[in-house]
Amino acid sequence: MSNRRQQKEDLTDDVTVHTSRLYELNILAQDGVKEFALTDIDDKETLESKRILMHDAFTNLYDEIATFSEQMMSDDFEIAYLRERYRNAEGEAQAQIREALEDSTTKHQRNLGDVWMAKVMSWLHQAGAASGPFVEQESESKEKEASRYLAAVYTMLEKPFSAIPSKVDGTQKLRRVALGHKAYSLVREAGDAGEKELAELRGKNKAAEAEFYDEFLNDLIGQESTFRQAFDPFDELIWRDILSSFIFEQATDLYNEAIPHFKESKAVSKQKLSSLDDWKANTAGLSEVYLGMTYNDIADAQMRSGNLEDAAKLYTSASDAFGRAEKSFGRAVSLQPNAAQSRNDKEHKKAQAHFCNAETASMDLSQLLVVNNKKEAIIVLKDILKDLKKAEKLSKTRELTGAISENLKTFLFVKDLLKQSDNIRSITSQIDFAKDLRKTGLIKDVNKALDEALKHMGSNPAESLEAIREGLDSLGILLSVEPEDEEVGNLRNKTLAILNNVKYVIQFQLSSQLQQGVKFIMSRILENLHAAEAASYYKVIGEMGTAEELMDLGRLALATAFASEAQVFAKQSEQGALRAQVERNNALAKLADELAEFEDDESLDEVIKAHDNTLLKSKQAVVSFESAANELASVKLESIRQKNNVDGQVKQLQGVVMKFRGDLLRIEGAKSDFLAEYLYRKGEKAKARKHYSKASDQLREAVGNYNYAAQVFQQIGDTQAAQNVETKAKTTDLLARGVWDNKQRLGRDQDPMFKQDAELAVLYLGGAGQ
């Protein structure tokens, strides 16, 4: 038994489980964002290196999504086979086949759209790596990588499909760009077009390309960030803001190129030109808005890690970007609300910069007070008050305004004390007392927000998330003004625990709305990651029960992802077996009719390829089902195991794995049987006998697996499954006997008994009716 099991494991040693790969790549992408966000901004070389590594991590992730999506697609053979059956069917059968054909075609085109959008995201991350925020000099190597990815995006457009993230069809936008460039090239080659006509075409092409960035890519990034629950600097918000800034910058450049061409052509109305100017003002403003948000994301991360000096610089950069956005939006009447919002953001980020500067200086002040340096203390205090008063005028949130107000009271009191005495050492105790009061107030604010978040977590997670946003604002201020003692550290960990718990709940709800496929598997993986992240923080704050429950819920989600992958490949293995049977029949018919002599073994290669593809799908199903069983078995809490019938599911999956191992060996046997028949017909009887012997061994081993699976199904009370597999065991045993007889017949110099359609159906599909 052990030897047989070892052989079975060897069959699947080289198979990739895509869910495992996606799981690893998601972690690498998240880690890449965090490492970039917390890099010292003055270390330009490291910052640039971490930025590129972040984009590369996401590129690898979307590459895998595209590869996996392609593997999950139904192939052209399935659609062609259904079409052939439709032509030969009648009545109700024809109607059913037509419905299946339409469904298969629709799914095929939808999957093409998913593959294409994943390729677009890969290209976009490489393009963003080549030229984006923080880039002082564009990377030539990344530009080449981006071009290679963009070529793949264009190449796919030869197939008929749509790609709509939520409202904009990207293929329509990019096809218009491609056709426009071709039309311009042809008109120019013809040589009879005037300069105005060419200028109009150039303008249209640039405008079309701008719309691809402005409308479709914006739609795609928004959809992706929502799906991944990108939310705060502890997560992935930064990549979204960097890419958004990049695409709107590109759109702006393209509008800038289009407008002069339209003016030169004189073929565009003033109203149209005015609209183009407004669009350009909008994209220019949005590019700066997202640049400001990028600086703000990193500033928040630096502030929460206590690096106030870098945070102040970044908030200033964010303020400058929002200021530029305000000017851009201000150029269009319709964009005045955007200009007003950008003005508010500009002022608030400036307020945060002043606040951080004041907090940094307050540490210097405390040191000067300790050494009784009154003269220098007065100078530093003056700067602190100046920063705080500026911040007070500019602040736009309740949390920051409250913190500034408390600081002003404290330092105005310090100012009075400095006037009254030359012995200033004791003033530090007054400052510490005020800080304690402020700390108590901020902790109260954070806890209030967290209580609100917990209240709505199950019923309205979106409202819960909004409460956490407020809590994070207060927490950010607290972490910036107080050393992270045990109390503050626990509050920080509690906030992050609840944040990721809410994200898990939202992702779980999203998963329940998705159909089987890569998106569903990705969502289940993200569920697991959110749950594990939340659990890690719950453990730190001592809530072990909640942590263990979330870990188990994450395991259930990942097991579901593995099982989903397995089901896709299981179905494909059945479809592949049918194709292998058809290819076998066609190839042997050609040989028998002497229409072809396999001159270059092309037909033989096609048959072998069909068998090998089926075997690969079977192996992928086996390893994915095994992964699902292992993940389920790792669930620890007895309450969750019982509620979800984990023991029963694990047993069921073990039976399914052995059943598919039987199928895998049955197809191995079918391949060997084909080669035996082929070689015999070619006159190579010795080789044919060896393949018959091999086929017999493989089929007998398949019988052993089927019998094992039947026993498992019997143990868990699944009588129907047990009977189905027992039937497969019996029919496969008969096939093995027939193949062995053929080997013996060749040994006696007799002709083998070739299989007819009924036997081939059993050999390839497991039963005559399938």
Question: Which residues, other chains included, contact 503 with Cβ-Cβ below 8 Å and sequence gap of 6+?
Answer: 229, 231, 465, 530, 534
- Domain-ending residue, one of 481, 499, 517: 499
Q: What is the pLDDT of residues 451-470, one digit of tens each?
A: 999 999 989 998 998 899 88
pLDDT tens per residue across span 608-655: 999 999 999 999 999 999 999 999 999 999 999 999 999 999 999 999
Instruction: Kindly report, residue by residue over 389-404, the tens digit of the pLDDT.
Output: 999 999 999 889 999 9
> Does an H or E element contain 193, and which?
none
Same structural domain for residues 587 and 491? no
The span from the CA of 670 to the CA of 677, in Å, is 11
The top-scoring range by mean pLDDT among 143-157, 234-248, 260-274, 571-585 is 143-157
CA 251/CA 288 separation, integer angstroms: 12
Using CA atoms, how far residue 375 sits from 378, 420, 423, in Å, is 5, 14, 12
Assign 5 a pLDDT band (cuts: 50, 70, 90).
very low
Residue at 721 is within a domain: yes
- Mean pLDDT of the residues in the chain: 90
Report whether 747 contacts 681 (CB < 8 A): no
In a domain, 482, yes or no: yes
Q: Do 355 and 490 fall into the same domain? A: yes
| pLDDT higher at 601 or 589 | 589
Looking at residue 204, its pLDDT comes to: 94
The band of 338, judged by pLDDT with boundaries at 50, 70 and 90, is very high
Question: In this structure, is residue 285 part of a structural domain?
Answer: no
User: Do 485 and 588 fall within a single domain?
Assistant: no
Residues 471 and 369 in one domain: yes
Residues 579 and 726 in one domain: yes
Tell me, yes or no, whether 488 and 582 share the same domain: no
pLDDT at residue number 236 = 66
387 assigned to some structural domain:
yes
**Pair (753, 633) in one structural domain:** yes
Name the nearest CA neighbour of 261 among 210, 205, 207, 200: 200
Domain range holding 706?
A: 573-765
* Total domains in the fold of the chain: 2
CA dihedral 420, 425, 426, 428 (to 10 degrees): 110
User: CA nearest 338: which of 395, 402, 401, 292?
Assistant: 292
The pLDDT score that the predictor gives to residue 234 is 55
Is residue 610 included in any domain, yes or no?
A: yes
Q: CA–CA separation, 134 vs 127, rounded Å?
A: 14
* 3-class DSSP assignment, residue 75: coil
Does 727 lie in the same domain as 639?
yes
Q: Is residue 745 part of a domain?
A: yes
643-702 pLDDT, tens digit each: 999 999 999 999 999 999 999 999 999 999 999 999 998 889 999 999 999 999 999 999
pTM: 0.90
Q: Kindly report, residue by residue over 537-594, the tens digit of the pLDDT.
A: 999 999 999 999 999 999 999 999 999 999 999 999 998 998 899 889 888 888 776 5
Same domain, yes or no: 445 and 589? no
Same structural domain, 600 and 457: no
Q: Assess whether pLDDT exceeds 70 at residue 596.
A: no
pLDDT tier, 7 (very low <50, low <70, confident <90, very high otherwise): very low
Percent of the chain with pLDDT over 70: 95
Instruction: Assess if residue 547 is contained within a domain.
Output: no
Point out the domain boundary residue: 467, 499, 531: 499
Which of 76-90, 311-325, 582-596 shows the highest mean pLDDT?
Answer: 311-325
Of 473, 499, 525, the last residue of a domain is 499
192 within a domain of the structure (yes/no): no
pLDDT band, very low/low/confident/very high, at 74 (cuts 50, 70, 90): low
CA 543-547-552 angle, to 5 degrees, is: 155
**Whole-angstrom Cα distance, residue 516 to residue 413?**
64
For the ranges 186-200, 229-243, 511-525, the one whose mean pLDDT is highest: 511-525
Q: Residue for token digits 């259904």?
A: 82
**737 and 636, same structural domain?**
yes
Q: Determine the pLDDT at residue 83.
A: 79
Does 492 share its domain with 596? Answer: no
Tell me which of 422 and 731 has the higher pLDDT.
731
d(CA 691, CA 70): 33
What's the chain's length in residues? 770
